[in-house]
Amino acid sequence: MHIKHKKISYIAEINLKSTSAYKQQVLKMCDAFSKKGFAVTLYVINLNDVKFEQLKRKYLLKSNFKIRQVFNKIEKLNFITRIIFSFIIYFKLKNKSEIIFSRSVFSSIILSLNKIVNILEVHQPMLGFTSFLFNFFKKNILSYTKFILINKNINKHLNLKRKLYIIADDGVDLKDFNIKKKIKYQNSCVYTGSLFKGKGIEIILSLAEKIRKINFYIYGETRTASKDVIKKCKNLKNIKIFGHVDYCKIPEILKSHKIILMPYSKAVYGNYKNMNIADFMSPLKLFDYLAAGRIILASKSNSYSHILKDKKNSLLCNPSNINDWINAINLVVLKKINLIKLQQNSKKTANLYSWDERINKIMKFINQKYI
């Protein structure tokens, strides 16, 4: 890898107090860049008195990098503050000779309009005024921006020429899971992540009602679930909800269980309640699950069909057929399938999707702009 610039400015519209997957992904990317020898500076909305050592401990970061806040008090961006954020970023970076990596569409637009080369990573289709601005200035943007798309389906909305983008799935730090942990819960299933509609809580509820001999452990931010869902969970003795846990605890939690669930519905929602993201996903949990080397039960989905293969590294189920899930659980509990092979293949697949491999792919792609 022959990169002239060894400095990276990473732009992310995040509040460091949040518990979002967005924040985790950004920190892990900065960590991976730093481990490759780049001097990384991450620009965020607000530090909120969060110390780097706290982040390092909670997210199992292996290296050091700088974090700079743009605002002192603002914790969440609206349209006006997003514009202000982007202009402040521009003035900070306009005279710097380094790689600019952005998760902020507005920042990328302003940088491009000022003829500053940047890399924009996109995780979902653009909406509303963001989409309008992008398309209005698209010709200018495409002259100075290259794109990292988390999922191939995103380009159906962006309509980029193939030479302007690559597809880069999310990843995992394999060392995070390099711990010895025996399976503590043999007849149990575990789920980690948010509880937004369609992320899996509905299927877990149905399973818990039908298979009372199996316990279901849920680690996820309860604020993302409806009150009705939480009430139903509390009424079932075989569902245990633990709420949000720091990422540093996830490897041990996953390795303690035999079965790991990723039960997406056909329609999946997140922070944008009206946007079905089922076709645009590259779930962080997927790569954690693979690295854990346990039995993955997941919904069939085009978003990750190139990664998960039924009866090879996972058991895939129809999200609309609860009996499919029951049968899959019985296959595992009754050992009617080669469980060791599934676990071995899971870990082999994880090796292909490390953060290091993702960085290598991205740097190979953008190298031509910086040599």
Are 192 and 288 in contact, with CB atoms under 8 Å apart?
A: yes
b/e sequence 163-186, b meaning 16+ C-beta within 10 Å: eebebbbbbbbbebbeeeeeeeee
Which fold does the domain 174-351 belong to in CATH?
Rossmann fold (3.40.50)
Spatial separation of the C-alpha atoms in residues 204 and 190, rounded to whole Å: 10
Q: What 3-state class would DSSP assign to 2?
A: coil
**Between 274 and 24, residue with greater pLDDT:** 24
**For the ranges 106-120, 164-178, 228-242, which has the lowest average pLDDT?**
228-242
**CATH number of 7-167: 3.40.50.2000, 2.10.10.90, 3.40.50.300, 1.10.3720.10?**
3.40.50.2000
- Domains of the chain, by residue range, sit at 7-167, 174-351
pLDDT of residue 224: 81
pLDDT at site 2: 45
Topology alike, domains 7-167 and 174-351: yes
- Over residues 199-209, the mean pLDDT reads 94
What whole-number distance in Å separates Cα of residue 101 and Cα of residue 140? Answer: 18
Residue ranges of alpha helices (H) inside the chain are: 21-35, 52-58, 79-93, 105-113, 128-136, 138-144, 155-158, 201-210, 227-234, 250-255, 284-292, 322-333, 339-351, 355-366
Looking at residues 128-151, what average pLDDT do you find?
94
**207 pLDDT above the threshold of 60:** yes
* pLDDT over threshold 70, residue 272: yes
What backbone phi and psi angles, to 5 degrees, belong to 249? -90, -15
pLDDT at 366 over 90: no
Q: Which residues contact 301 (CB under 8 A, 6 or more apart)?
A: 264, 278, 281, 319
pLDDT, averaged across the chain:
93
Supply 122's token pair. 């996109």
* Cα gap 285→291, rounded to integer Å: 10
Q: What is the pLDDT of residue 6?
A: 87
Once rounded to an integer, what is the mean pLDDT over residues 94-119?
A: 94
Contact 24, 284 (CB under 8 A): yes
CB-CB contact of 73 with 38 (8 Å): no
pTM flag (> 0.85):
yes
Write out pLDDT tens, residues 297-319.
999 999 999 999 999 999 999 99
What pLDDT, on a 0 to 100 scale, did the predictor assign at position 185? Answer: 85
